Structure 1
Amino acid sequence: MKFSIIILLCIGIAMSACTTQTEPIYYGKDNCGLCKMTIMDSKYATELVTPKGKVFKFDDLRCMVIFMKTNHTSSADYAHLVVNNFDNPQEFINVTEGTFGQGTLFRSPMRGDLAAFKSPQFSQKLKEKDATIKFFSWTQIQEMFN
C-alpha cells in the first residue's frame, strides 16, 4: 500500500514538472534568453515555451525573433509564443492574435521598437497620436530581423 502511494506521488510530481505553461516575468530579476540583459520594461517583454515546458523570456520582440532564427525554429515548434500587451503589460497576447506597431512612440530595450496590441481600437488611437506608426502581423515580424 505504501509503495503504491509513493509511486503515485512520484508520477504526479513528474507529470506536474512537464507542464507547458507560460510563467510570470520577474522584472529586474529575469534575464533575456538571447542578449542576457535583465528584463526591465514590461511593455516589451516576450516569452516562448517549448513543447517540453522550457521557458525562454526576452526583453524585446526583436530578441525573440532572432533567437528563433538562430535556432532554426518556427512558431509551430513552440507550445506558446506570447508578448506583453503594450496597453496592459500584465497581460500576455498570443503572437498570432496581436497587432504589432513600430514607430517613434516605442523605444524597446534592444531597439526593435515594436509593441504588441490586443485591441484594434487602441492601435487606432496610437495612429492618431503618431502618423509614423506602421502595423504588422506576426508573419511580417518574423521576416524583419536577421
Structure 2
Amino acid sequence: MKTLLYLFSLMLAIALLGGCQPEPKPIAYGAANCAHCNMTVADNRYGAELVNDKGKLYFFDSSECLMAYTIEHPEFGENAAFLMVTDFTRPNELIDARDAIFLQAKALPSPMGMYLTAVADKEVVAKMKQKHGGRLLTWNEAVTAVQKNERPD
C-alpha cells in the first residue's frame, strides 16, 4: 500500500511540474493591456509578449513597448523564457523576437510611433523594404533604436 501511495504521489508531482513549463499564449486583443504603457493591445499585427521564467505573461501593444520594458527592467529581458513579437505579415502569429527582422519605415506606423514592424521571413521583409523604404534591424539594433529614440525621417 505504501508503494502504491508513493508511486501515486510521484506521478502527481511529475504531472504538476510538467504542466508548469513557461510558454507563450495567444494575446487577447482588445482585452489585454500593455505592461509598459497600459494601452489596450488592439492591433493584431503589432502585439508582443514576454513570458518570464516562472511562466507569468506580460503583453505589449507593440514591439517597441516590449523593448522599452526590457530596457527599463533588464532582468526581465535577460531572464525571460520567451520574448515574442507578432509577424506583421501573419497577424496573431507570435515569433521569437530575437529572430525577427524589424523594418523601420515611415510608411508603416506602429502603435507607439517608432515605426517598427516585425517579420519572420527575410525575403518577405526585403520586398517590404523595397516597397516602403526604411531600414532593416535585428532585435539588438531595434532595442538600441528604441533606447536612442531613433525614428525614420
TM-score normalized by structure 2?
0.82
Q: Higher strand fraction: Structure 1 or Structure 2?
A: 1
Q: Higher helix fraction: Structure 1 or Structure 2?
A: 2
SS at 1:129 equivalent: helix
Q: How many corresponding residue pairs?
A: 145
Match of 1:136 in 2: 137
Partners of 1:50 and 1:74 in 2: how far apart? Answer: 7
Structure 1, unmatched stretches of 5+, are: none
Contact 2:50/2:59, CA 8 A, preserved across alignment: yes
- Is it true that 1:108 corresponds to 2:81 in the alignment? no
Select between 109-118 and 4-13 the one with higher mean Cα deviation: 4-13
Q: 1:43, CA displacement in angstroms? A: 0.9
Q: Highest CA radius of gyration, 1 or 2?
A: 2
- The residue type equivalent to 1:143 in the other structure is T
Contact 2:49/2:60, CA 8 A, preserved across alignment: yes
Q: 1:142, CA displacement in angstroms? A: 1.8
Match of 2:150 in 1: none
TM-score normalized by structure 1?
0.86
Q: Tell me which of 74, 87, 90 is aligned to 1:88.
A: 90
Q: Tell me which of 43, 53, 56 is aligned to 1:54.
A: 56
Q: List 4+ stretches of structure 1 deviating above 4 A.
A: 1-10
- The residue type equivalent to 1:96 in the other structure is R
Q: Tell me which of 116, 119, 134 is aligned to 1:117.
A: 119
Matches within 5 A, 1:21-32: 21-32=23-34
Partners of 1:72 and 1:139 in 2: how far apart? Answer: 13
- The residue type equivalent to 2:146 in the other structure is F
Partners of 1:37 and 1:122 in 2: how far apart? Answer: 29
Q: CA RMSD in A?
A: 2.2
Q: 1:10, CA displacement in angstroms? A: 5.7
Q: 1:145, CA displacement in angstroms? A: 2.3
